[in-house]
Amino acid sequence: MYKRELKLSSQYTNNFYDGSIYDLVFLDLEWCRDFQKNGTVQKIFGYTLTRILEDSNEQYIKIQFIESSTQEKKIIQDILNDLQSLQGKYFIGYGLSTSDMFCLRQRINDLDFVPKVDSIKILDLQRIIQRVIQRTDLNQGLNNLFAYLEIPIYKRIKGYYVFRNGVKVLRKERGYETILNEIYEYCLEDAENYFHIISNWQAQFPLVDRHKHQIIDLKVDPRSEQSIRSQRGAALQRPSQ
């Protein structure tokens, strides 16, 4: 298992919503294709979690990836443990309530997990921009939002790189260490910039009402829900970044 944790000094201002910055947890899941005898399986490949620690005001970042197919259960359990320990906070991300949660809940069901946490609260930036602020011109991925909020980024790879190349890490193909490092740097750059979104938000958008969050039930197979099933084609496609 590939895992990195770090703490950074932070001086962010909450210009995002009518709540505490300490109650915001950015979460981003990465998944990849794994080709098996019975067909292609979408596997959880890794995740990034970052938040501001109330006791020190530092930004805590955790980035974790699997390095073999057999480790998927372990990383899903780690994700669920984090969701449980941070239950009550607002998980925030771009497309988090659709693509990421669809894939996570599908794998929870496929691998017979019984989460100890029933549900989580989500503030999905993509949904907020589309439905609350009603801006369809920003539905082009996280990088477009960074640019609109004047947050400079310098990514060398695209979001679908993980989806396409994660399997090479699982199979330990030649050059997999380079792929893993590229993915780490990609996730780290996002993590280091997430809270700039919180600081810069009100320069372009109104404050978000925390009561308009979504509740995601982790114990329901998303394929059994008509509203989610109708989005399935888009849900498993990595948002363009």
| Structure confidence by residue, pLDDT tens digits, 71-119 | 999 999 999 999 999 999 999 999 999 889 998 999 999 888 888 898 9
Q: What's domain 2-222's superfamily in CATH? A: Ribonuclease H-like superfamily/Ribonuclease H (3.30.420.10)
Helix H or strand E encompassing 229? helix 226-229
Which one is predicted more confidently, 27 or 43? 27
111-131: b or e for each residue (b if 16 or more CB lie within 10 Å)? Answer: eebebebeebbbbbbbbbbee
For residues 216 and 28, give the distance between their C-alpha atoms in angstroms, rounded to a whole number. 15
What single string gives the DSSP state of each residue in 8-68? E-------SBSS-GGGEEEEEEEEEEEEETTEEEEEEEEEEEEEE-TTT-PEEEEEEE-SS
pLDDT value at position 42? 84
Q: How many CB atoms lie within 10 A of CB 234?
A: 12
Q: For the stretch 97-108, what's the b/e string if a residue is b when 16 or more beta carbons lie within 10 angstroms of its beta carbon? A: bbbbbbbbbbbb
pLDDT at 222: 62
**Tokens of residue 170, six digits:** 């699982």
pLDDT at 38: 77
How far apart CA 233 and CA 151 sit, in angstroms, is 31
How far is residue 192's CA from residue 66's CA, in Å, rounded to a whole number?
21
Write the pLDDT tens digit of every residue in 124-173: 999 998 876 776 666 668 888 898 899 998 888 877 888 888 888 888 89
CB 161 within 8 A of CB 183: yes
- pTM confidence score: 0.88
Let me know if 153 is exposed, middle or buried by CB neighbors in 10 A (0-12, 13-18, 19+). middle
- CA-closest candidate to residue 235, choices 48, 75, 120, 107: 107
pLDDT class for 236, splitting at 50, 70, 90? very low
pLDDT for res 140: 67
- Locus of tokens 């490092």: 181
Residue 56 CA to residue 41 CA, distance in Å, equals 41
The answer for residues whose C-beta is within 8 angstroms of residue 131's C-beta and 6 or more apart is none
User: What pLDDT shows up at residue 69?
Assistant: 84
